[in-house]
């Protein structure tokens, strides 16, 4: 009596432990709809090529329609004994429509089947993620637009460096997420190629029309080497790399939000619904969401390491190692989607505190470079101007005031060419407005970038 799908050859049933160890159905059932979609395209092609009859094709379509309903309603009964999503669906099909179900696997192997399923599934997820990346960018552009003129200290080494527009700072993240979107589109192209028709590893003896199947599935091309087609998981590694980079961008933003909402900065508030309290300290509002996002970036980078390491020792062609691609890939998708969604909402709920930002900018001599530039315009070589300003900063430090608060007579001691107009250069707004080069922080530039991003995003 047959005990397993392949078992005429086997003299004893698989051990229970091995069964559990090798089964993937409890996670790969997530591929069910992609599996059905792939099978329907394969069956249509087999019928068109005369490999199966029109009647068999109809039976398969009817059976698969019922199975899809069962999967969607949750009524489908997944069996560990049937190992994975592919064998579960095929067994149910045969139960429903008889011999036609047994003919479906003609010219096909689970090796090209699973590679196809994962690609189909991931393609859909990439589209959802791309949409979420656009939404997050839109929210960041909105907050940037409202804060084109909001001055904050820009930092290097987390030391006050030069005044920047808060809007400009937000648009830096828009650039990052725009590149993430771009990377996703690029990965999509290479994901959207058809392995099916490669069979186990060498191709098949049946007159398959692979281009037809690719067309049915909306795929851009057909994998051109059967050995590569069944064993390549580059697309999953590449996707996880792109996801890791996006999570790192989220993590950098998270780190800034955590710093900005600390009492020592007080630059922003995030809406209460994104914070949590403390069970002991009644005054606390903790930035749990950005902190968790920062932590989850590590989790996704870990998945990238898992996938790339999974591949490194594998000889051609398919090896069971590849079954281990699914959990890291699924979790990467889930984590990235949840994170992008929650961030779009959280960014919308940020309250900006312009006064705190300005105060902080006034504290750190953020306009020192502007004084040096002023002196250069009066004819001093930049290196000499740099030195003069260092003395002025020292004086301001001992007077415990900002450069702009030093009297003209004091400033003139450092260099006689300094005139009353120096105070325009030393003001935060003067400093901001002066950086009016492409990509600079002047409000006119930031406003232009806001418009450029709006136009770009409306096309996506
Ligand atoms: N569940 C397997 C996977 O995820 C399907 C392919 C199995 N093929 C095989 N010959 N064991 O990769």
The residue from 7, 262, 278, 417 that is catalytic is 278
**Sign of the four-CA dihedral 188, 194, 200, 203:** negative
Q: Which of 8-12, 69-73, 393-397 has the lowest mean pLDDT?
A: 8-12
> Which pLDDT score, from 0 to 100, does residue 280 have?
82
d(CA 129, CA 180): 10
Cα(321) to ligand 1 centroid in Å equals 9
Q: Is the CB of 117 under 6 A from ligand 1?
A: no
Say yes or no to pLDDT of 5 above 50.
yes
Q: Is the CB of 35 under 6 A from ligand 1?
A: no
Please state the rounded mean pLDDT for residues 16-21: 95
In contact, 177 and 185? CB cutoff 8 Å: no
> Which pLDDT score, from 0 to 100, does residue 4 have?
61
Say yes or no to pLDDT of 445 above 90.
yes
In this structure, the number of other CB atoms found within 10 A of the CB of residue 79 comes to: 13
End-to-end CA distance of the chain: 57
Q: What is the DSSP letter of 8?
A: G
Please state the rounded mean pLDDT for residues 148-175: 97
- Alpha-carbon distances, residue 124 vs 96, 112, 118, 195, 242 (angstroms): 29, 19, 10, 17, 16
Q: How many CA atoms lie within 13 A of 269 on its CB side?
A: 6
Say yes or no to pLDDT of 279 above 90.
no
Q: Is the CB of 329 under 6 A from ligand 1?
A: no
**Residue nearest atom 3 of ligand 1, based on CA coordinates:** 323
Query: Which residues of the chain form CATH 1.10.40.30?
Result: 365-458
Give the model confidence (pLDDT) of 76-99 as tens digits: 999 999 999 999 999 999 999 999
SS3 292: helix
Q: How far is CA 127 from the centre of its chain?
A: 11
Phi-psi region of 102 (alpha: psi -120 to 50; beta: other; left: phi over 0): alpha
157 is catalytic: yes
Give the ligand 1 atom nearest the CA of 200. 10
Cα(74) to ligand 1 centroid in Å equals 24
In this structure, the number of other CB atoms found within 10 A of the CB of residue 207 comes to: 11
Cα(208) to ligand 1 centroid in Å equals 22
**Residue nearest atom 2 of ligand 1, based on CA coordinates:** 323
Question: Mean pLDDT score of the chain, rounded to an integer?
Answer: 96
Cα(195) to ligand 1 centroid in Å equals 14
198 is catalytic: no
Fold of 111-144+156-358: Fumarase C; Chain A, domain 2 (1.20.200)
Q: Is the CB of 261 under 6 A from ligand 1?
A: no
> Which pLDDT score, from 0 to 100, does residue 241 have?
98
> Which pLDDT score, from 0 to 100, does residue 1 have?
44
Give the model confidence (pLDDT) of 23-65 as tens digits: 999 999 999 999 999 999 999 999 999 999 999 999 999 999 9
Cα(323) to ligand 1 centroid in Å equals 6
Fold of 14-106: Fumarase C; Chain B, domain 1 (1.10.275)
Q: Is the CB of 231 under 6 A from ligand 1?
A: no
ipTM: 0.94
Cα(230) to ligand 1 centroid in Å equals 10
Pick the CATH number of 365-458 from 1.10.40.30, 3.40.50.170, 1.10.3720.10, 1.10.1380.10: 1.10.40.30
Please state the rounded mean pLDDT for residues 401-419: 94
Q: What is the DSSP letter of 269?
A: E
- Alpha-carbon distances, residue 295 vs 195, 254, 255, 288, 291 (angstroms): 36, 10, 10, 10, 6
Q: Is the CB of 88 under 6 A from ligand 1?
A: no
**Residue nearest atom 12 of ligand 1, based on CA coordinates:** 323
Query: Which residues of the chain form CATH 1.10.275.10?
Result: 14-106
Please state the rounded mean pLDDT for residues 327-347: 98
d(CA 106, CA 205): 10
Cα(71) to ligand 1 centroid in Å equals 21
Give the model confidence (pLDDT) of 189-245 as tens digits: 999 999 999 999 999 999 999 999 999 999 999 999 999 999 999 999 999 999 999
Give the ligand 1 atom nearest the CA of 83. 1
Query: Which residues of the chain form CATH 1.20.200.10?
Result: 111-144+156-358
Q: Is the CB of 323 under 6 A from ligand 1?
A: yes
Q: With bands split at pLDDT 50, 70 and 90, how would you rate the model's confidence at 11? A: confident
Please state the rounded mean pLDDT for residues 166-179: 98
Mutation choice for ligand 1 from 24, 323, 329, 330, CB with most ligand atoms inside 8 A:
323
Say yes or no to pLDDT of 262 above 50.
yes
How does DSSP assign 119-183, residue by residue? HHHHHHHHHHHHHHHHHHHHHHHHHHHHTTT-EEEEEETTEEEEEEEHHHHHHHHHHHHHHHHHH
Say yes or no to pLDDT of 151 above 90.
yes
Q: Is the CB of 116 under 6 A from ligand 1?
A: no
Q: Is the CB of 114 under 6 A from ligand 1?
A: yes
The residue from 73, 157, 279, 458 that is catalytic is 157
> Which pLDDT score, from 0 to 100, does residue 275 have?
86
Share of the chain above pLDDT 90, in %: 93
Say yes or no to pLDDT of 7 above 80.
no
Q: With bands split at pLDDT 50, 70 and 90, how would you rate the model's confidence at 408? A: very high
Please state the rounded mean pLDDT for residues 389-411: 94
């Amino acid at each position: 009596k047959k005990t397993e799908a392949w078992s005429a050859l086997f003299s004893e049933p698989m051990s229970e432990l091995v069964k559990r160890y090798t089964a993937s159905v409890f996670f790969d059932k997530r591929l069910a709809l992609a599996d059905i979609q792939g099978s329907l395209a394969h069956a249509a092609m087999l019928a068109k090529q005369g490999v199966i009859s029109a009647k068999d094709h109809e039976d398969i379509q009817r059976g698969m329609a019922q199975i899809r309903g069962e999967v969607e309603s949750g009524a489908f009964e997944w069996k560990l004994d049937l190992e994975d999503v592919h064998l579960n669906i095929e067994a149910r099909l045969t139960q429903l429509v008889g011999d036609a179900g047994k003919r479906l696997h003609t010219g096909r192997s689970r090796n090209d089947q699973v590679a196809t399923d994962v690609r189909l599934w991931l393609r859909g997820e990439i589209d959802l993620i791309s949409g979420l990346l656009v939404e997050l960018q839109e929210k960041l552009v909105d907050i940037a637009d409202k804060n084109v003129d909001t001055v904050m200290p820009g930092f290097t080494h987390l030391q006050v460096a030069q005044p920047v527009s808060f809007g400009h700072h937000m648009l830096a993240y828009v650039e990052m997420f725009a590149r993430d979107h771009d990377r996703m589109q690029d990965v999509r192209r290479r994901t959207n190629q058809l392995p099916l028709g490669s069979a186990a590893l060498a191709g098949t003896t049946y007159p398959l029309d692979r281009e037809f199947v690719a067309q049915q599935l909306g795929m851009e091309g057909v994998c051109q080497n059967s050995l590569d087609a069944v064993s390549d998981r580059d697309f999953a590694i590449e996707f996880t790399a792109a996801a890791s980079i996006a999570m790192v961008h989220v993590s950098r933003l998270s780190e800034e939000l955590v710093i900005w909402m600390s009492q020592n900065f007080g630059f922003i508030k995030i809406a209460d619904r994104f914070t949590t309290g403390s069970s002991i300290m009644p005054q606390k509002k903790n930035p749990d969401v950005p902190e968790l996002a920062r932590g989850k970036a590590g989790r996704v980078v870990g998945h990238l390491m898992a996938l790339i390491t999974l591949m490194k020792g594998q000889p051609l062609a398919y090896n069971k190692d590849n079954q281990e691609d699914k959990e890291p890939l699924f979790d990467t998708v889930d984590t990235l989607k949840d994170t992008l969604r929650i961030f779009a909402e959280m960014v919308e709920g940020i309250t900006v505190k312009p006064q705190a930002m300005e105060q902080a900018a006034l504290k750190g001599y953020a306009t020192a470079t502007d004084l040096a530039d002023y002196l250069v315009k009066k004819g001093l070589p930049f290196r000499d101007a740099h030195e003069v300003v260092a003395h002025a900063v020292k004086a301001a430090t001992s007077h415990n005031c900002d450069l702009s608060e030093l009297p003209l007579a004091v400033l003139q001691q450092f260099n006689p060419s300094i005139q009353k107009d120096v105070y325009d250069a030393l003001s935060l707004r003067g400093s901001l407005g002066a950086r009016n080069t492409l990509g600079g922080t002047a409000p006119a530039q930031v406003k232009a970038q806001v418009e450029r991003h709006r136009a770009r995003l409306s096309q996506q």
